């Protein structure tokens, strides 16, 4: 099994008919042999000042974000189980919500680096259910 993102033209979707005609678009494979991209969860599109489009994709199962663009791809370690991403275009930053450690990682999109992580407060001890969810979502445990 493989994780991928399929980009589609919105106009193709809007003009679609009831036929099961295949949609056109690009397919972006997210992982590679030996370095899977477990559980892609959130995605945001960002275009920098030079006009280069970047896709920022949270990889919840490996606690990383993948920044894809025409000039290359880079994976960055963030907090535990990143599930959402929001871009601040004015500051060239992305805010990544790390769902299982109650934090937000701030990514500098110009330099493609995590500048800091903001804790959302002290966490109480994990319950057995929360520990189970952490194990369930950890893609490094799969075959």
pLDDT digits (tens, 9 = 90+) for 39-85: 788 999 999 888 888 999 999 989 999 998 887 889 999 999 999 99
pLDDT of residue 143: 52
Neighbours of 102 (CB within 10 A): 15
pLDDT of residue 38: 78
What is this structure's pTM? 0.78
Torsion sign over Cα 26, 27, 28, 33: negative
> Mean pLDDT across the chain, nearest whole number?
83
Q: Name the nearest CA neighbour of 65 among 91, 102, 92, 104.
A: 104
pLDDT of residue 88: 94
């Amino acid at each position: 099994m493989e994780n991928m993102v399929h980009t589609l033209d919105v106009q193709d979707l809007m003009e679609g008919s009831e036929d099961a005609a295949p949609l056109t678009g690009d397919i972006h494979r997210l992982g590679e042999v030996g370095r899977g991209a477990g559980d892609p969860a959130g995605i945001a599109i960002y275009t920098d000042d030079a006009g280069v489009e970047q896709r920022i994709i949270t990889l919840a199962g490996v606690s990383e974000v993948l920044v894809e663009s025409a000039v290359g791809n880079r994976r960055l370690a963030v907090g535990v189980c990143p599930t959402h991403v929001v871009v601040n275009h004015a500051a060239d930053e992305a805010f990544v919500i790390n769902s299982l450690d109650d934090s937000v990682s701030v990514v500098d999109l110009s330099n493609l680096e995590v500048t800091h992580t903001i804790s959302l407060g002290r966490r109480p001890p994990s319950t057995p259910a929360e520990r189970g969810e952490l194990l369930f979502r950890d893609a490094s445990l799969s075959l």
